[in-house]
Amino acid sequence: MTDSLSKLKSIYHRVSDIKNAAAVLDWDQETYMPPGSGNARAHQSTTLETLAHEIATSNELGDLLHSLHDYALEQPEHSNDRRLIEVGLEDYEKNSKLSPELVGKIAGAVSRAKDAWRDARAENNFKAFAPHLTDLIELNREKAEAFGYSEHLYDALLDEYEPGLTAGRLDSIFDPLRSELVSLVDTIADAPEVDTSILRRTYPHQQQWDFGVDIITSFGYDFNRGRQDLSAHPFTINFSIDDVRITTRIDENFFNPGFFGTLHEAGHGLYEQGIDHSLARLPLARGTSLGIHESQSRFWENLVGRSRPFWVGHFDKLRSYFPGLPASATPESFYRAVNAVNRSFIRVEADELTYNLHIMLRYELEKSIFEGTVAVDDLPDAWNQKMHDYLELTPPSNDKGVLQDIHWALGAFGYFPTYAIGNLMSTQLYDALKKDIPGTEELIEKGSFDDILDWMKQKIHRHGRKMTAEDLMISATGSSLDSSSWLRYARTKYADIYGL
Amino acid sequence: MTDSLSKLKSIYHRVSDIKNAAAVLDWDQETYMPPGSGNARAHQSTTLETLAHEIATSNELGDLLHSLHDYALEQPEHSNDRRLIEVGLEDYEKNSKLSPELVGKIAGAVSRAKDAWRDARAENNFKAFAPHLTDLIELNREKAEAFGYSEHLYDALLDEYEPGLTAGRLDSIFDPLRSELVSLVDTIADAPEVDTSILRRTYPHQQQWDFGVDIITSFGYDFNRGRQDLSAHPFTINFSIDDVRITTRIDENFFNPGFFGTLHEAGHGLYEQGIDHSLARLPLARGTSLGIHESQSRFWENLVGRSRPFWVGHFDKLRSYFPGLPASATPESFYRAVNAVNRSFIRVEADELTYNLHIMLRYELEKSIFEGTVAVDDLPDAWNQKMHDYLELTPPSNDKGVLQDIHWALGAFGYFPTYAIGNLMSTQLYDALKKDIPGTEELIEKGSFDDILDWMKQKIHRHGRKMTAEDLMISATGSSLDSSSWLRYARTKYADIYGL
């Protein structure tokens, strides 16, 4: 058995090395690659992905995994070896359900759709994108059928990003949350506006960069095992537990994108840097679901970075990086500014409160598409109707509406809900953290994040994929995914800020 | 046949993509990789190299190549398909001679030797490096035996870097060159010194960078298909014909390393950028030998960048980047300064003239090692003796002598001679260029490099590995590798500068 096990591991090491190399190619493409080399890079990425997929679906791997199944059951329940074989079998069976033809067709359709989407958005021309969207929906339907599902076809798509989550479960969480949110946003719209002018002044590039690096270093992001670069769209990517990179973008006339983007990506980065080294080069060595991942980014971005204790404790530091801030600015005024609620068209610019409504809109449309109750051609109207219902806004054009996100062009249906799930999880985790460490808010104010990061590492990070999202939530917080904690958090916070 | 041929190409595409991905990992490691991730990166690089080697030595590839041999002979002599099969067969047979065990042993020994060499050089402790050197010499002997040779075992090593070249041929070229050089350097040592103080002042980092970029852009280095970064040791690396990257290092107190390093690497880069696109993703799509490669880097660095016409034509531009240059500086004084000859210990700091003596010393020692006439323990003394004989210098310590270069720690024996060969080839090519374009020196002075680059591209670059170094030299210059052109160049240039 130990021979089979070490053979299994050596196959996984190879797959992991190839996938991580492919990730380096992606990182390079988004940061430093010269513009003229896109064609060659596409070939290189495809070759590495194909190689990894060939090995991950090989009979050799399947036979090994099946031969080790009984051995796995004899191992302690949470042992690395047992979980490796269990998760390995799940992955193998899932991967093997997709024919290479379908994988190839999806890759081709995505590659065409991405370019079409960029043009369509630039030209505000939904009709030009619609045929590509139709193809991708059809291919995703095929994929979902191949994977199989018990209730909704959409469940098979969700499972790709948030294993185990279903549309039924999501509906039961989102339905009550939506009406609460719509009414809370409505109430806030009637309250006196928060002054956000402090955020819209000149924040020089280098000082923004340095301030962000200062703060995430204090969070515990390890620049010895990571780095930050600039890119058009911020992202986190990891090539190993010891090489987890983040990117940011900086707008010299607006404080939020750079600073909160940096905190957000650092949150993702801390998760991947915190995975136990015993899982290295194995399929267990990454975040267990996108929801859990987003809970980490949102925790550091919002629950820490948009908290009153944080700004009380760090306002002097902010001023030292930006000495031109007006003397009238205070920790409280800055805290309120970065938490202002505004109905707006664009998801990535949305505040913490309206953000979840943007997500629910997308989730509902995705579900309708796969249920066949909304046709592709009717998507723009359906989108605008929901914007009107939830945010009392009507997008002036599709580039500010249905065309704004790249996700569908990437063939990623079922991805959006994980953003909202991450928000909900983040406050559930925060409640548990504050129970375990009653002085958490003082620590945030002091900028002393070691104990907080350590708690998160013990409860979440180190486990990688050894535990499912559901198991993590129960073991860390005592309960499953649930919206009550987040709603309590949101009601309290905005009642205070807006004097409701 | 066309089925076999397209199967062959698809295998080569895969190998090429994997190798180019491995090159991206190397580039990243030397430029941006965080320090803590060396271990994971080593695994990733090894996995990709192993995969490429497995495919390149697979029975499938061998069978295909053999089945296509007759077909190849029916194709036009210089057709891509014929050369692909011919070169492919040569590569395959060569690769297949090395057992995976020997390849693994060499990789392991190199990995250990590199670290040992860094420490040994830092601590000036040759004894600590000697056992590693002994291992690598033994493994290279095994490698040479596996490849086979007709006269000298060393020929098999040389062939790795300069296919077809032999020690016998090198001796016949180097022997007369050496005595000429020693006496020329001797004569110069008695002549009045050239004033080089202009080079040793403050040249700010950004201006050095910008001036270098300006000049290599005018050479024709295409930043749309390449980029420049900083690294400890400058290098050129290519991931495709459309992604050829160079690096440089900048010393703010010395003009030469940054500027001439940039020109040198750009010369390598122009070669790889100039390969015909019809060879993309095939084993023909790279420089044909290290000697030819070095002829390109030296051409732009020395024959252009250290020429009088260049400085006559570009001195105003230099001054515009470095307005602090003293008013007394002239094109002529600058030209003389960058061409000053000085006996020195370190190869990479050597001038154009003494450089070849540094190379001959190494070549002779390598040959003696493999002939068994110099033992590893005696290398430091043998080194110092030759330094005394050729340059009248005695290194004060081994870090300024036998320990200065990384090449032996990389297991690269037979590599050094290609540096000198490149120098010789560069003037042979220059003579031919001036015959074809009589106004070359005026073009250099004007900074109008299009015709020069185009000539080099037609004669050398575009062919990739379709032509051997020998064939290229004969077709481009009418003669084989030969030292007479370079000697004529050197005698004329230095007689003029030093008033001999």
Contact A36 B225 (CB under 8 A): yes
**Catalytic option among B265, B352, B364, B470:** B265
DSSP code, position A194: P
Q: Collapse the DSSP code of B150 into the 3-class scheme (helix H, G, I; strand E, B; otherwise coil) and give the result.
A: coil
Backbone region of residue A33 per phi and psi (left: phi > 0; alpha: psi in -120 to 50; beta: other values): beta
- Alpha carbon distances (Å) from B476 to B443, B461, B479: 20, 11, 8
CA B82 from centre of chain: 28
Residue A210 to chain B, least CA–CA distance (Å): 18
Give pLDDT tens digits for A30-83. 999 999 998 999 999 999 999 999 999 999 999 999 999 999 999 999 999 999
Q: What confidence category does residue B104 fall into, taking pLDDT thresholds of 50, 70 and 90? A: confident
Contact A32 B239 (CB under 8 A): no
Out of A21, A35, A222, name the one closest to residue B48 (CB).
Answer: A21
Nearest-Cα residue of chain A relative to residue B51: A14
Look-up of token digits 């993702």: A268
Contact B242 A51 (CB under 8 A): no
In sequence order, the 6+-apart residues with CB closer than 8 A to the CB of B238 are B20, B23, B244, B245, B269, B272, B286
Q: What is the dihedral of CA B96, B97, B102, B104, to 10 degrees?
A: -20
Q: Collapse the DSSP code of A236 into the 3-class scheme (helix H, G, I; strand E, B; otherwise coil) and give the result.
A: strand
DSSP letters of B92-133? Answer: HHHHHHS-HHHHHHHHHHHHHHHHHHHHHHHTT-HHHHHHHH
Chain A residues with beta carbon closer than 8 angstroms to that of B28: 24, 28
Look-up of token digits 């036998």: B402
Q: What confidence category does residue B149 fall into, taking pLDDT thresholds of 50, 70 and 90? A: very high
Q: Look at residue B107 and tell me whether its pLDDT is greater than 90.
A: no
At residue B116, what is the residue type? Answer: A
Q: Picking from A104-108, A438-442, B189-193, B274-278, which range would have the lowest pLDDT averaged per residue?
A: A104-108
At residue B153, what is the residue type? Answer: L
Reference A140, options A105, A171, A169, A173; nearest CA is A105
Name the interface residues of A facing B (CB cutoff 8 Å). 13-14, 17-18, 20-22, 24-25, 28, 32-37, 39-41, 43-44, 46-48, 51, 222-227, 229, 239-243, 245, 280-281
Q: What confidence category does residue A111 fall into, taking pLDDT thresholds of 50, 70 and 90? A: confident
Chain B residues with beta carbon closer than 8 angstroms to that of A229: 32
Count of CB pairs separated by less than 8 Å, A with B: 123
At residue B397, what is the residue type? Answer: S
Name the interface residues of B facing A (CB cutoff 8 Å). 13-14, 17-18, 20-22, 24-25, 28, 32-37, 39-41, 43-44, 46-48, 51, 222-227, 229, 239-243, 245, 280-281
Out of B36, B44, B225, name the one closest to residue A34 (CB).
Answer: B225
Q: Please list the alpha-helical segments (H only) found in A148-166.
A: 153-161
Q: Look at residue B482 and tell me whether its pLDDT is greater than 90.
A: yes
Q: What is the dihedral of CA B29, B35, B36, B39, to 10 degrees?
A: 40
Chain A residues with beta carbon closer than 8 angstroms to that of B13: 43, 47
Q: Look at residue B260 and tell me whether its pLDDT is greater than 80.
A: yes
Backbone region of residue B100 per phi and psi (left: phi > 0; alpha: psi in -120 to 50; beta: other values): alpha
Strand A228-230 and strand B228-230: pairing?
Answer: unpaired
Q: What is the mean pLDDT of residues B489-494?
A: 98
Out of A18, A33, A225, name the one closest to residue B34 (CB).
Answer: A225
Chain B residues with beta carbon closer than 8 angstroms to that of A226: 34
Q: Look at residue A283 and tell me whether its pLDDT is greater than 80.
A: yes
Q: Residue A112: count other Cβ atoms within 10 Å of its Cβ.
A: 15
Out of A32, A39, A243, name the one closest to residue B40 (CB).
Answer: A243
Chain B residues with beta carbon closer than 8 angstroms to that of A277: none
- Round the average pLDDT of chain B to a whole number and report it: 96
Contact B44 A280 (CB under 8 A): no
Chain B residues with beta carbon closer than 8 angstroms to that of A281: 40, 43
Nearest-Cα residue of chain B relative to residue A242: B37
Residue B309 backbone phi and psi in degrees, to 5:
-55, -40
Contact A223 B34 (CB under 8 A): yes
Give pLDDT tens digits for B46-86. 999 999 999 999 999 999 999 999 999 999 999 999 999 99
Q: What is the dihedral of CA B1, B7, B8, B11, to 10 degrees?
A: 180
Percent with pLDDT over 90 in chain B = 96
In sequence order, the 6+-apart residues with CB closer than 8 A to the CB of B471 are none
The pLDDT of residue A104 is 86
- Round the average pLDDT of chain A to a whole number and report it: 96
The pLDDT of residue A194 is 97
Report the interhelical angle of B153-161 vs B417-436 (nearest 10°): 50
The pLDDT of residue B100 is 85
Taking CB atoms within 8 Å and a gap of at least 24, the contacts of B470-478 are B470/B164, B472/B288, B472/B292, B473/B425, B473/B428, B476/B429, B476/B432, B477/B428, B477/B429, B477/B431, B477/B432, B478/B432
Q: What is the mean pLDDT of residues B30-43?
A: 92
End-to-end CA distance of chain B: 65
Give pLDDT tens digits for B109-140. 998 898 899 999 999 999 999 999 999 999 99
Is B265 designated active site? yes
**Residue B241 and residue B264: Cα distance in Å, rounded?**
18
Contact A21 B44 (CB under 8 A): yes
Reference A64, options A45, A43, A81; nearest CA is A81
Q: What confidence category does residue B1 fall into, taking pLDDT thresholds of 50, 70 and 90? A: confident
Determine which of B33, B229, B242 to mutate to test the interface with A (most A C-beta atoms within 10 Å).
B242
Q: Look at residue B178 and tell me whether its pLDDT is greater than 80.
A: yes
Q: What is the mean pLDDT of residues B239-251?
A: 97
Determine which of B49, B237, B243 to mutate to test the interface with A (most A C-beta atoms within 10 Å).
B243
The pLDDT of residue A1 is 72
Could you tell me the domains of chain B?
A: 2-97 (no CATH), 123-500 (1.10.1370.30)
In this structure, are residues A411 and A119 in contact, taking their beta carbons and an 8 Å threshold? no
The pLDDT of residue B119 is 94
In this structure, are residues A351 and A336 in contact, taking their beta carbons and an 8 Å threshold? no
In this structure, are residues A380 and A120 in contact, taking their beta carbons and an 8 Å threshold? no
Chain B residues with beta carbon closer than 8 angstroms to that of A238: none
The pLDDT of residue B163 is 96
Reference B133, options B403, B415, B417; nearest CA is B403
The pLDDT of residue A107 is 87
Q: What confidence category does residue A167 fall into, taking pLDDT thresholds of 50, 70 and 90? A: very high
Chain B residues with beta carbon closer than 8 angstroms to that of A47: 13-14, 17-18, 21
Contact A24 B28 (CB under 8 A): yes
Q: Residue A439: count other Cβ atoms within 10 Å of its Cβ.
A: 12
Nearest-Cα residue of chain B relative to residue A245: B34
